[in-house]
Amino acid sequence: MAAGTVATGAAGLGYAAGIERRHWTLRRVELPVLAPGARPLRILHLSDLHLTPGQRSKIRWVASLNALDPHLVIDTGDNLAHPDAVPGVLAALGPLLDRPGAFVFGSNDYYGPTPKNPARYLRRGSGHRSHGAPLPWEDLRAAFREHGWVDATHDRHLLEVDGRRVRIAGVDDPHLHLDRYRKIAGHDADADLRLGLTHSPEPRVLDGFAADGYDLVLAGHTHGGQLRLPGYGAIVTNCGIDRTRARGTSRWGSHTRLHVSAGLGTSPYAPVRFACPPEASLLTLVAAPTSADAGRGTRAQAGRGVG
């Protein structure tokens, strides 16, 4: 029996490390957040690429997402996992950079990954952070901005997207305690849609966006839990939100919707995923239901593809 347990564990680890972490998945979500009568608006949400040189399968698959014809592309950080990864990130985003876009960065845009004890994954952090070598985030930011994407870090932008006024605001990475929500606080009445961006979905930041009436907040960081147990879900979130919000959509407050991307990568030192394939999300925003439609919820469907 012991031999069987070892064999089963080895098979699961081999699947998690060799197959599932490259099982690129498109999650399709419909969110009723627009004004009644508004036509749909498509947002491609990308997060946590954690790219290293040579990840050609991931680069090809992300580049292929341009065929989805999104109106807006949102990147919620942790693009890099190597000092030489900037060209790969730009190749992956490819023609998506020619579309309207906005971004905030995460800790693994600023600092490289470091080896860690895997047991730390199962414990809530003490607040201590160990950083690797600095990464060329300034080069990546310059390239994004050169293509017309807006840096939402502690800034507010009003974009015209498919004929709609979209207010976008974001904070620096709460995981590193760099967030300063007061710099973007305030309610905007001049927008058809209000989007909040943060890398790590920390409750203190989500509370700020909800208090200011944002329609939708986009985040990453959690990797969906990275290791999920069937029937239980994510084991941990690596931040302050509860396990049920580790990926997908939920409500935060009475008005604001939250979407957390499970992301497309892993740390090079923990290259495994289980019951949590790497994903990008196509969010189709539609008109909020009328009273006759009340009770209808968010519909989501994951479509899988191997690159």
pTM for the whole structure: 0.89
CA atoms of 190 and 177, how far apart (whole Å): 30
Query: Would you say residue 305 lies in a domain?
Result: no
Query: Would you say residue 296 lies in a domain?
Result: no
**Span 228-283, pLDDT tens digits:** 999 999 999 999 999 999 999 999 999 999 999 999 999 999 899 999 999 999 99
The pLDDT value recorded for residue 122 is: 59
Question: How many Cβ atoms from other residues are within 10 Å of residue 305's Cβ?
Answer: 11
Number of domains in the chain: 1
CA atoms of 104 and 48, how far apart (whole Å): 11
Query: Would you say residue 172 lies in a domain?
Result: yes
CA atoms of 220 and 47, how far apart (whole Å): 6
* Cβ proximity of 137 and 173 under 8 Å: no
Query: Would you say residue 92 lies in a domain?
Result: yes
Kindly list the averaged pLDDT for each block of 10 residues, start to end, along the chain of length 307.
Answer: 40 54 94 96 98 96 98 98 98 97 98 78 57 95 98 98 98 98 92 98 98 98 94 94 97 97 94 95 94 54 48
**32 secondary structure, DSSP code:** E
**51 secondary structure, DSSP code:** B
Phi-psi region of 113 (alpha: psi -120 to 50; beta: other; left: phi over 0): beta
CA atoms of 208 and 202, how far apart (whole Å): 10
Closest CA to 306 of 111, 4, 64: 64
* Cβ proximity of 43 and 283 under 8 Å: yes
* Cβ proximity of 32 and 286 under 8 Å: yes
Strands (E), the chain: 25-34, 41-46, 72-75, 101-103, 150-151, 155-161, 164-170, 193-197, 216-219, 228-229, 233-234, 248-252, 256-260, 279-287, 299-304
With 0-12 / 13-18 / 19 or more C-beta atoms within 10 angstroms meaning exposed / middle / buried, residue 186 is exposed
Retrieve residue 255's tokens.
């008005």
Query: Would you say residue 306 lies in a domain?
Result: no
CA atoms of 28 and 225, how far apart (whole Å): 19
Question: How many Cβ atoms from other residues are within 10 Å of residue 163's Cβ?
Answer: 9
Question: How many Cβ atoms from other residues are within 10 Å of residue 93's Cβ?
Answer: 26
Length of the chain in residues, anyone? 307
The pLDDT value recorded for residue 124 is: 56
CA atoms of 157 and 143, how far apart (whole Å): 18
The pLDDT value recorded for residue 289 is: 85
Helix, strand and coil content of the chain, in percent to the nearest 5, comes to 30, 25, 45
CA atoms of 283 and 43, how far apart (whole Å): 5
Query: Would you say residue 129 lies in a domain?
Result: yes
Query: Would you say residue 301 lies in a domain?
Result: no
Q: Residue 170: which domain range?
A: 2-291
Query: Tokens 């930041």 — which residue?
Result: 205
CATH label of the domain that carries residue 180: 3.60.21.10
